[in-house]
Amino acid sequence: MQESGVRSGAFCDSNPQITLRLFDKVSNPKSIHGIYPYRGKMSALDAAHVISQLPSAANLLDPFCGTGTIVYEAQAHGMKTIGVDNNPLACVIAKGKTEPIEAQSVLDKLSSAISDGQSQDDAPRMPDSPAKYFHTDTANQIMRMVQVSAGFNSYLLSALYGAICVAARACNGWLWTSTSIGRINEPLRKIDFYSTLLRKVKKHIEFVNNGPPAEIHTHDTRQIHDIIDEESVDIVYTSPPYFDALDYTNYYSKIVLEILDMDRASVREGLIQRYSTYRDDMESALAAIDRVTHNESLIIFVVGDRKVRGELIRGSEFFTEIAPWDNPYVVEREYTKTASGLWDKINKTQRKEQIIVWDLANGGRKPE
């Protein structure tokens, strides 16, 4: 496999290269990461590749951890890890992947919950907005399981939320793609939600990390120094939100948030993604991240080109300009065998994805 590389001094003395794979495939179906279809989820194969080059004794922070792809892979590498995201739904999934569990007791808990759900006299009605995507009987089974889920651990909740997404797709004849989520394809098919959930729980259970748990915080990264000690983080590795990007409360998450009666508008309100305020918001987040790093920290951001109002903005240029750190190394690759590559072909763009590495031991901070 071909690789492009960057030098890094602080943590890789014997092998001073951090490399980035060229895309051959993005996801690993035999992993935990398919438990929930979060829009904006990064490639777990990439995360594992970068993390394998980092020292396992370091503390790692992902300040925009989403569903915990990086946190999970870092934990599997033996690192002490912290993930922060202000979307509570994403944090449940990140916890579900990284909190140790005992498989048999999880399966026992699920089968007694399914019996309880089935024997309820009454289930609450699913709210109208999500209900339109499900066959009535499937919606009823989903609400029964939501009703008995109060004692579920994060793994079972993650599987429950993931199974709701699978059921939505299945009720619509499996015709939903990542861009056609929410199109109703009549007649809605009846799906047995209990077996969908059971399959999901069994499919991913063997991949839960059973090492020391990662710390996951539902918090705004602009105030990350409130929850993480100053100068305590050795490595920051993240894929930050972008202003043209996805609404992380939309797509399947909209359906799940509405079923759970979570306040979607307030989750959205805290997200850094509006074009008009993006630069200021991101500068505040970077300043907060800077406070928890030290003079030898390594900071790795996965970014990319974005087309805004007809103009291509280079992610690496944007972030190197606003970051408080100096002399980054950038590795770049074209989007190839991915949905993004297809998008580029259709739109006749050639966006690139970049990884920016600030090695504070060698590059330091910008002068005030």
Ligand X SMILES: C[S@@+](CC[C@H](N)C(=O)[O-])C[C@H]1O[C@@H](n2cnc3c(N)ncnc32)[C@H](O)[C@@H]1O
Chain contacts with ligand X (rule: CB under 6 A):
38, 40-42, 64-67, 69-70, 84-87, 90, 220-222, 239, 241, 248, 270-272
C-beta closer to ligand X: residue 220 or 359: 220
**Rg of the chain over all Cα atoms, to the nearest angstrom:** 21
Smallest distance, ligand X to C-beta of residue 208, A:
16
Smallest distance, ligand X to C-beta of residue 84, A:
6
C-beta closer to ligand X: residue 142 or 303: 303
Beta strands in the chain (DSSP E): 3-7, 17-21, 59-62, 80-85, 215-218, 233-238, 293-304, 306-308, 311-313, 329-334, 352-359
Smallest distance, ligand X to C-beta of residue 15, A:
25
C-beta closer to ligand X: residue 26 or 107: 26
Please name which of 263, 242, 123, 249 lies closest in space to residue 193, comparing C-alpha atoms.
Answer: 123
Smallest distance, ligand X to C-beta of residue 355, A:
13
C-beta closer to ligand X: residue 179 or 277: 277
Q: Which residue is nearest to ligand X (CB)?
A: 66
The greatest distance separating any two alpha carbons of the chain, rounded to the nearest whole angstrom, comes to 67
Please name which of 43, 70, 53 lies closest in space to residue 6, comparing C-alpha atoms.
Answer: 53
C-beta closer to ligand X: residue 88 or 211: 88
Smallest distance, ligand X to C-beta of residue 343, A:
16
CA 317 to chain centre: 24
C-beta closer to ligand X: residue 193 or 252: 252
Neighbours of 194 (CB within 10 A): 20
Please name which of 360, 367, 329, 79 lies closest in space to residue 231, comparing C-alpha atoms.
Answer: 360
Smallest distance, ligand X to C-beta of residue 133, A:
23
Grouping H, G, I as helix, E, B as strand and the rest as coil, residue 269 is helix
